[in-house]
Amino acid sequence: MARRYDAAQIEPRWVDRWEAEGLYRAVDDPDDRRPRFYALDMFPYPSGDLHMGHAEAFSGGDAVARFQAMRGHNVMHPIGWDAFGLNAENAAIKRGTPPAEWTYANIEQQAASFRRMGFSFDWSRRVQTCDPEYYRWTQWLFLRLFEQGLALRKSAPVNWCPKDQTVLANEQVIQGACERCGTPVERRELTQWFFKITDYAQRLLDDVDLLTDWPDRVVTMQRNWIGRSEGAEVTFTIDETGEEVTVFTTRPDTLWGATFFVFSVEHPAVRRLAELGGTWDAVEPLVRDAEHTSLADREAVDTKEGVSLGVHAVNPVNGERIPCFAAPYVLMGYGTGAIMAVPAHDQRDFEFARAHDLPIRVVIQPPDAPPVGGDELTEAMPGEGAMVNSGPFDGEPSPAAIAKVIDWLGAEGRGRAAVNFRLRDWLISRQRYWGAPIPIIHCPEHGEVAVPDEQLPVLLPDDVDFQPGGESPLARHPTWKHVPCPICGADATRDTDTMDTFVDSSWYFFRYCSPAYEDGPFRREDIDRWMPANQYTGGVEHAILHLLYCRFFTKALYDMGLIGFTEPFPRLMNQGQVIYGGASMSKTKGNIVEPMPIVERWGADTMRLIMLFAGPFEDDIDWKLIAGDPDRRPGVHQWLGRVIAAVEDAVAADGEEPEALVRLTHKTIKGVTDDLERYRFNTAISKLMVLTNEIRSTVDGGGGARGAAVALVQMLAPVAPFAAEELWREVLGEGSSVHVSAWPSYDPSLAMDETVTLVVQVNGKVRDKIDVVADISEADAEATARSSAGAQRALDGKTIDRVIVRPPKLVNIVAH
């Protein structure tokens, strides 16, 4: 008689035993001949206990790691924490507890939950980015980038949250407000540290082609973020001063249609030119306004806004003198911060021209349309056509003639071919405490001096005032920043900014390979053994920046000769989000469901199976739809109960194992193997359910099923590791863990669908015989019969009246 399935009684026991047996230790021994498999999960941020997103992502990543171990790989499946960051500091401000205390307490809670979930982590490789042993090497890597000229300080407009008193990255600004506190963001000019990721823009773009095992949408997001555009740089001359101003344009074929010229309001020439043109009084408020608008809001600015500078630019292609304006719709960050405006063929320019009563000149005549004057247009015409009013290029087709125009500009000395990227340099400094201090000392004599490697880490002081002010808490510390210059020994000061946490997370996967190494961030032979990672699993919310920064670090380390490859994650898997009732879970909506209470009630195996069985891994899971009633026993829990009973009964049964069950077992092994290789966890689980039912009915009919039961338990191991282990060792009586057993293999001839002969008749006469699968559908049988050569011959010139289909053996086509 089968026992009642009680996960709480089964699961915690195995956690301790697996750890005692060292089951998930990755082996560094070069004599280990197994192929290696690096199963990497995006490491969590320790803000409270695990949430549903963690439960889902790690269930998928863990299934992959376990499957690959059973397939004979030496698997490394590490875990760590992305532990610096603003949340810890905000919590410290709110509760008065130091960020370290809050952070480490959360890490311990998450670690306990991970253990309870039974994830197959190699705990000996645990990495925490806020540990001095880790950020020592974050600082070391900063210094290598500094030596290469890839870390530099420059003044730049930044998003500033007046409440958090810190600089925000663009992606931390949501609709003009701070992502964390909702305060409207302002713009400020500050001297900041940057990583020169733009030096790698072309390579980051080119190598996207190597990422064939990434989801298409992520590849597209990477491409769009880098945003390469080809065009020309063309130099205009300010008539009143003779100074030259270069613009970048992707449409040099429209140069003859430029009727005005626009500067970004932040352009350094704006004030001088407006004063010269006598319009500064009108321009100044625009400049002030822009200072209080976030960079993000500037993207959605009113295109009608702008003020004349009272000066003129001379168009180099035709010598025309056109009026200059300052307008917020032109961004300083894109191109050169100044544009030639072609209102007939650019919608923003068109709207500006209409609002300011500026001339509009058509220079591209669309095909199959009567010629139209600029005054008659109701919107810009950005499409193709024939160049008109364009001097030597009249009649040339656009955009085909763009290359010709660029050649001509070059030959005439009026411009040149150019490439522009949307990607900006990576702003990495933060005026906050809870991050890795930037290891630079400012000397009045020697400027920016690197902290010598042997003095790393530059430790965070414990005794600081966390209350936010204009300066970093480190800047307000009475003694911390005062140090002698490493070169001359004179009084100097430490840089008081800390690094963006995206820096910490750009190299943690290297540290996993050598977690205890003390002579560098990693040992080369470890990197050569484990990297690039075989599998990276995590949320699509990191599809742009985190992945881009990891790719940049990898390329920079490659260029320094520290590693031997240029892409860290050739294969990427993104899980969907766990939502509730169609909306994301959030505190404000009060719809958060926590995973751990469900684990306590129904078990970790059930939690995993709910996640993996809900649908394709990359799709969102709506918790309300799949487990809306918390008091109902989950379907997968009921299934696990049936699995346990079926396996126990199969062990007790002593009849012959029928061929149909043997065939289904081999077919299931083939199908599940294929599914798990492609992360199709849900279809793998449904195949296991079918096999479970077949074992049940076989045993009930007096047949044997031990072979099928053994295979079922093994295939269950990646998705329900506790139940599988219990059955393997306690019911099947195996000595060692199911998780180190060899993945079951199948006999292809048994795994194949059985075939039968389909007889094709026309008007009752046999015209063809075709081998088809035994479970062919009615529609497939009919289609197969109709298209068979024998039927085609017999039907030539006839009209089909009806088709009698008796799958899988007979199709009779009645025709006249």
| Candidate segments 147-155, 162-170, 534-542, 602-610, binder of Zn ion by CB under 5 A | 162-170
**Residue 45 vs 104, nearer CB to Zn ion:** 45
Report which of 766, 574, 732 is spatially closest to residue 649, judged by C-alpha positions: 732
Both tokens of 366, joined, read: 């669309």
What is the chain's alpha carbon radius of gyration, rounded to the nearest angstrom? 34
Other CB atoms closer than 10 Å to residue 1's CB: what's the count?
Answer: 5
**Residue 407 vs 445, nearer CB to Zn ion:** 445
Say whether the peptide bond before residue 399 is cis (omega within 30 degrees of 0).
yes
| Candidate segments 176-184, 232-240, 612-620, 652-660, binder of Zn ion by CB under 5 A | 176-184
Taking the complex as a whole, how short is the minimal distance between the CB of residue 170 and Zn ion, in angstroms?
14
Q: To 5 degrees, how large is the angle CA 391–CA 397–CA 398?
A: 90
Q: Decide if 283 contacts 267 (C-beta within 8 A).
A: no
Taking the complex as a whole, how short is the minimal distance between the CB of residue 107 and Zn ion, in angstroms?
25
Phi, psi angles (nearest 5°) of residue 317: -85, -25
Both tokens of 779, joined, read: 């529609």
Site string for Zn ion, 75-114 (x = CB under 5 A): ----------------------------------------
Taking the complex as a whole, how short is the minimal distance between the CB of residue 164 and Zn ion, in angstroms?
4
d(CA 595, CA 611): 11
Strand, helix or coil at 467? coil
Q: What is 468-527 written as a DSSP string? A: --SS-HHHHSSSTTEEE-TTT--EEEE---EE-HHHHTTSHHHHTTSTT-SSSSS-HHHH
| Candidate segments 343-351, 443-451, 471-479, 681-689, binder of Zn ion by CB under 5 A | 443-451
Determine if 445 is a binding residue for Zn ion (CB under 5 A). yes
d(CA 390, CA 713): 76
**Residue 487 vs 544, nearer CB to Zn ion:** 487
Site string for Zn ion, 183-212 (x = CB under 5 A): x-----------------------------
Taking the complex as a whole, how short is the minimal distance between the CB of residue 469 and Zn ion, in angstroms?
14
Other CB atoms closer than 10 Å to residue 495's CB: what's the count?
Answer: 21
**Residue 184 vs 790, nearer CB to Zn ion:** 184
d(CA 707, CA 745): 12
Taking the complex as a whole, how short is the minimal distance between the CB of residue 184 and Zn ion, in angstroms?
9
Considering only 178, 307, 547, 684, the residue that binds Zn ion (CB under 5 A) is: 178
Both tokens of 615, joined, read: 């649908």
Report which of 338, 373, 341, 322 is spatially closest to residue 255, judged by C-alpha positions: 341
**Residue 448 vs 620, nearer CB to Zn ion:** 448
Looking up tokens 């969102």 gives 620
DSSP tag of 730: I
Report which of 739, 741, 743, 546 is spatially closest to residue 62, judged by C-alpha positions: 739
Taking the complex as a whole, how short is the minimal distance between the CB of residue 323 and Zn ion, in angstroms?
41
Determine if 443 is a binding residue for Zn ion (CB under 5 A). yes
**Residue 257 vs 473, nearer CB to Zn ion:** 473
Cα dihedral: 304, 308, 309, 313 (round 10): 90
| Candidate segments 47-55, 101-109, 160-168, 553-561, binder of Zn ion by CB under 5 A | 160-168
| Candidate segments 423-431, 439-447, 525-533, 611-619, binder of Zn ion by CB under 5 A | 439-447
Determine if 669 is a binding residue for Zn ion (CB under 5 A). no
**Residue 11 vs 164, nearer CB to Zn ion:** 164
Q: To 5 degrees, how large is the angle CA 446–CA 447–CA 449?
A: 80
Helices (H), 678-734: 681-700, 706-716, 721-725
Of residues 487 through 506, those in contact with Zn ion by CB under 5 A are 487-488
Determine if 174 is a binding residue for Zn ion (CB under 5 A). no
Helices (H), 148-196: none
* Count, residues near Zn ion per rule CB under 5 A: 13
Considering only 341, 485, 557, 708, the residue that binds Zn ion (CB under 5 A) is: 485
Taking the complex as a whole, how short is the minimal distance between the CB of residue 452 and Zn ion, in angstroms?
13
| Candidate segments 98-106, 164-172, 555-563, 668-676, binder of Zn ion by CB under 5 A | 164-172
Determine if 441 is a binding residue for Zn ion (CB under 5 A). no
Both tokens of 765, joined, read: 């006469």
Say whether the peptide bond before residue 184 is cis (omega within 30 degrees of 0).
no
**Residue 86 vs 711, nearer CB to Zn ion:** 86
Helices (H), 331-379: 347-356
| Candidate segments 486-494, 545-553, 584-592, 609-617, binder of Zn ion by CB under 5 A | 486-494
Considering only 164, 266, 605, 675, the residue that binds Zn ion (CB under 5 A) is: 164
Considering only 223, 354, 446, 476, the residue that binds Zn ion (CB under 5 A) is: 446
Determine if 181 is a binding residue for Zn ion (CB under 5 A). yes
**Residue 120 vs 431, nearer CB to Zn ion:** 431
Considering only 17, 163, 589, 632, the residue that binds Zn ion (CB under 5 A) is: 163
Taking the complex as a whole, how short is the minimal distance between the CB of residue 447 and Zn ion, in angstroms?
8
**Residue 172 vs 665, nearer CB to Zn ion:** 172
d(CA 494, CA 485): 9
**Residue 122 vs 495, nearer CB to Zn ion:** 495
Tell me the residue length of the chain: 816
Determine if 442 is a binding residue for Zn ion (CB under 5 A). no
d(CA 673, CA 680): 10
**Residue 163 vs 809, nearer CB to Zn ion:** 163
| Candidate segments 66-74, 161-169, 595-603, 630-638, binder of Zn ion by CB under 5 A | 161-169
Strand pairing of 578-580 and 621-622? parallel
Chain residues that interact with Zn ion, rule: CB under 5 A: 161, 163-164, 178, 180-181, 183, 443, 445-446, 485, 487-488
